[in-house]
Amino acid sequence: MTAFVILALLMTVAALAAVLWPLLRSRAAGKRWPAVAVVGVSVPALAAGLYVALSNWGWDPAAKPSDVPPEIERMVSGLEARLQSNPTDVAGWLMLGRSYLQLDRFFKAADAYQQAYTLTQGKNIDAVLGLAESLAFADESMLLGRSAELFDQAYALAPDNPKVLWYTGLIGYQSGRKALARERWAALIALDPPPEVKRILQAKVAEIESESGAASGAVAQVASGESATTPPSAAGATQAQAPASPVVRVRVALAPELAGRAPPDAPLFVLVRAGEGAGPPLAVTRRVSSQLPLLIVLTDRDVMISGRGLSGAGAVTVVARIARSGEPIARSGDLEGRVSYDLGRSAPVDLVINSIVP
C-alpha cells in the first residue's frame, strides 16, 4: 500500500506540473498566481476525494475487506431480523451460530450459541459444542477455561461424538493429562475418522504411549527375569509363570556398521504390527538408543488402541526404529530393523537394526 500511495503522489505531481507549468511560464504569470494556487490545491484534493469515494479499498485500518457474497450477508441479516421477532427459536439461533462460525465471526457466533444454550438449559449438544468451539476460536486461552468446561459437559451428553472426543483429548493433552488424551483419541480412532485425521491421531497416541512406555511398556531384563544369556531352564521357569495372553519377546541390537549413526539419546521405538507390517501398531514401547542391546517384552498391556491388542493376531511384524528425528513416525535418515514373529512361540527372536529409512 505504501508503494502505491507514493506512486499516486508522483503521478499527481506530474499532472500538476503539466497544468501549472504553462501558466507559470507565461508573461502574465504574476497575475495568474490565484489561479495557480486554486489549481494546485483543488486538483490533488479532488483526486484524493474521488479515489476514496469510488475505490473499493478498505481505508479503515481496523476493518478487513469482506469477501462474503452479498446474498450470504442478506441471508444472515434476514435470520437476525427474524430472531429479533422470535427470540425463542432454538433452531434459528443454532443456524445463526453456525453461519457466524463459517464467516469467522467468532464472538457473534458465541452470542448466538449462548442464546440456544440458555433456551435449552445446556441440554442441547449442538448448542454446548457450538458455544465451546466459538469461544475457543475467539480466544485460545478459553480452551483451558470456559471452553474446557463446556466440552466436558458435551462429553457427558454425547461421549461418542467425534468432535467431543477430539476436543476433550486435545484439552487433556495441552493440560498434561496425557492418559485422558490417549483414551479419547483412541476412542475416536475406533470410530474410523477420515484417513488424514486418523494418521494424525495415531501419531499422537503413539507419542503418548512412547512417553509412558519406559514405565509401563516393555519389561526390561531385570523386571522380566530374562536376559540374552538366561539359561534355558530359567527361561522355561519364567515362561511357565507368565500370563496366558500373547507375548512378544525380541532381542534388539544395532548393526555395528550403523553404530556411528545413532545419537546416544535418540528415542528407540519398538512396534508390533499385524501381518507383514501394514496399518497402525498393535503395541508399542519406547526406549533410548544408548540402552542397546536389550531384551524387549510386549504384551496386551502395551496395546495402542483399546480393544485391538495382540490376542488373535497370529503372525506379526516387529519393527525397531531409532528415530533420529525424535518423532514416532518414520522419517528419512532413521535407523530401522524388522523381523517376522509368531505369537505362538516362546523363545526370544533377534531383531537387528540394520537399515536406513530412505
The whole-number pLDDT of residue 321 equals 92
Q: How far, in Å, CA of 95 to CA of 53, rounded?
A: 36
Architecture of the structural domain at 221-356: Sandwich (2.60)
In angstroms, the Cα distances linking 294 to 24, 59, 78, 218 are: 95, 68, 69, 11
pLDDT, tens digit, for every residue of 293-323? 888 888 877 776 555 667 767 788 999 999 8
The whole-number pLDDT of residue 111 equals 92
The whole-number pLDDT of residue 281 equals 77
pLDDT, tens digit, for every residue of 174-207? 788 888 888 888 888 888 888 777 887 888 888 8
The whole-number pLDDT of residue 221 equals 38
Contacts 24+ apart (CB under 8 A), 102-106: 103/68, 103/72, 103/76, 104/137, 106/134, 106/135, 106/137, 106/138
Please list the ranges in the chain whose pLDDT falls under 70. Answer: 1-68, 140-143, 213-245, 276-280, 304-309, 312, 328, 346
φ/ψ (deg, to 5) at 324: -60, -30
The whole-number pLDDT of residue 89 equals 92
CATH class of 70-193: mainly alpha
Three cell numbers written together for 199: 494418521
Answer positive or negative: Cα dihedral of 66, 69, 72, 78: positive
pTM value?
A: 0.45
The whole-number pLDDT of residue 18 equals 61
pLDDT, tens digit, for every residue of 197-241? 788 788 888 888 887 764 444 433 333 434 333 344 433 443 444
The whole-number pLDDT of residue 322 equals 93
Can you give the residue ranges of every domain in the chain?
Answer: 70-193, 221-356
In angstroms, the Cα distances linking 211 to 36, 205, 208, 217 are: 79, 10, 5, 10
Residue type for position 199: R
DSSP-assigned states of every residue in 226-272: --TT--HHHHHHHHHHS-SS--EEEEEEE-GGGGGGS-TT-EEEEEE
The whole-number pLDDT of residue 219 equals 35
Q: How far, in Å, CA of 298 to CA of 99, rounded?
A: 50
